[in-house]
C-alpha cells in the first residue's frame, strides 16, 4: 500500500515547522539569558561618598584600587547558589570597600522554605542584612598559627551607603563599607543574614570570602563611567 503524497507532505512540513520552532525557542532562550545576566547600568559604576572623593582629590586617577579572585557564589549544601558577589573594589587610600551582591528570585523562594514562612516575601522587601567580617592576626610574626581562633581577633563593618536595582529574575544590592583596611587582615568576608533572624554569634545564612592575605591583589582600573561619576561629584562639591 502506498502512502498518500498529500499526507506525506503534511507530515514533512509539520516536522519542519516543529524543528524551526524548536530552534527559534533555543535562540530566544539564549538571547534572554544573555540580556538578563549582566548587571544593571546603575550597578556598574563606582559609588562615590565623601571618603571616596577625598581620596580621589588627593590621588586622582592614580588612586589605588584592587580586588581578588575568590569564589563568587555560595556553595554550601544549605545555600548553594543562593548569593553571589558580582564585584568588589578595595580602595586603600579611602579605607573603603565597595561590594555588589546579587541573588535570584529563587533565593527568596528558598528563604521562605528554609524559615517556614507563611508566604513568599516580595522581591522589593529588604530581606537581608549584609556586613563585612574581618579576621586579624594577633601574632603577625607567626603566620602558621592562623587556624587557631585564640590567635585571631575580628571586626564587623556595617554599610555606610547602599543602592539597589533589579533585572529580570535578579536582585542587586551595592554597598559602601567605610573604615575597612586590608593591611592587618587575614581574611575579609561578606556575611549575609536574613533580616528577621540576625545573630552575629551564629553562622550567616550566606558567607563569601572577598579577601585573604595569601591571594594576589589585582589592580582595578577606573572606567570612563567611574571617572565621570567622580568628576561630577567634584564639581558639585
Dump pLDDT digits (tens) for 184-219.
999 999 999 999 999 999 999 999 999 999 999 999
pTM of the model: 0.83
Regarding whether 183 and 91 lie in a shared domain, the answer is: yes
pLDDT at 236: 87
Regarding whether 200 and 94 lie in a shared domain, the answer is: yes
Q: Percent of the chain having pLDDT more than 90? A: 75
Residue 22 CA from chain centroid, whole number: 34
Which run of H or E residues covers position 137? strand 128-137
Regarding whether 77 and 23 lie in a shared domain, the answer is: no
Regarding whether 175 and 90 lie in a shared domain, the answer is: yes
Average pLDDT over residues 158-180: 97
Answer yes or no: is pLDDT of 33 > 60: no
Average pLDDT over residues 38-48: 92
C-alpha torsion 198→160→52→125, nearest 10: 80
Regarding whether 153 and 46 lie in a shared domain, the answer is: yes
Q: Please report the sign of the dihedral spanned by the C-alpha atoms of residue 126, residue 104, residue 74, residue 116.
A: positive
Average pLDDT over residues 116-137: 96
Regarding whether 22 and 75 lie in a shared domain, the answer is: no
Q: For residues 229 and 6, what is the distance between their CA atoms, to the nearest angstrom? A: 67
Regarding whether 133 and 99 lie in a shared domain, the answer is: yes
Number of structural domains the chain divides into: 2
pLDDT at 50: 96
Q: For residues 179 and 99, what is the distance between their CA atoms, to the nearest angstrom? A: 14
Average pLDDT over residues 29-40: 56
Regarding whether 195 and 94 lie in a shared domain, the answer is: yes
pLDDT at 31: 46
Regarding whether 165 and 87 lie in a shared domain, the answer is: yes
Regarding whether 129 and 209 lie in a shared domain, the answer is: yes
Is residue 128 within 8 A of residue 205, CB to CB? The reply is yes
> Domain of 154?
40-235
First to last CA, the chain: 89
Regarding whether 216 and 104 lie in a shared domain, the answer is: yes
Answer yes or no: is pLDDT of 4 > 50: yes
∠ CA 101-236-59, nearest 5°, is 70
Amino acid at each position: 500500500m502506498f502512502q498518500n503524497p498529500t499526507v506525506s507532505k503534511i507530515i514533512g512540513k509539520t516536522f519542519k515547522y516543529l524543528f524551526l520552532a524548536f530552534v527559534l525557542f533555543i535562540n530566544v532562550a539564549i538571547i534572554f539569558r544573555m540580556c538578563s545576566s549582566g548587571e544593571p547600568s546603575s550597578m556598574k559604576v563606582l559609588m562615590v561618598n565623601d571618603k571616596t572623593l577625598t581620596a580621589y582629590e588627593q590621588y586622582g586617577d592614580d588612586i589605588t584600587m584592587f580586588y581578588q579572585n575568590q569564589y563568587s557564589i555560595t556553595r554550601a549544601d544549605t545555600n548553594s547558589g543562593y548569593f553571589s558577589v558580582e564585584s568588589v573594589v578595595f580602595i586603600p587610600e579611602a579605607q573603603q570597600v565597595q561590594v555588589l551582591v546579587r541573588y535570584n528570585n529563587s533565593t527568596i523562594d528558598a528563604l521562605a522554605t528554609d524559615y517556614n514562612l507563611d508566604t513568599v516575601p516580595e522581591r522589593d522587601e529588604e530581606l537581608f542584612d549584609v556586613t563585612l567580617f574581618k579576621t586579624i592576626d594577633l601574632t603577625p610574626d607567626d603566620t602558621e598559627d592562623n587556624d587557631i581562633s585564640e590567635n585571631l581577633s575580628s571586626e564587623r563593618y556595617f554599610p555606610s551607603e547602599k543602592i539597589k536595582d533589579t533585572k529580570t529574575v535578579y536582585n542587586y544590592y551595592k554597598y559602601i563599607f567605610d573604615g575597612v583596611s586590608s593591611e592587618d587582615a587575614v581574611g575579609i568576608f561578606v556575611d549575609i543574614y536574613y533580616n528577621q533572624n540576625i545573630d552575629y554569634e551564629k553562622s550567616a545564612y550566606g558567607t563569601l570570602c572577598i579577601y585573604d592575605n595569601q591571594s594576589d591583589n589585582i589592580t582595578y582600573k577606573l572606567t570612563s563611567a567611574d571617572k565621570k561619576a567622580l568628576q561630577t561629584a567634584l564639581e558639585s562639591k
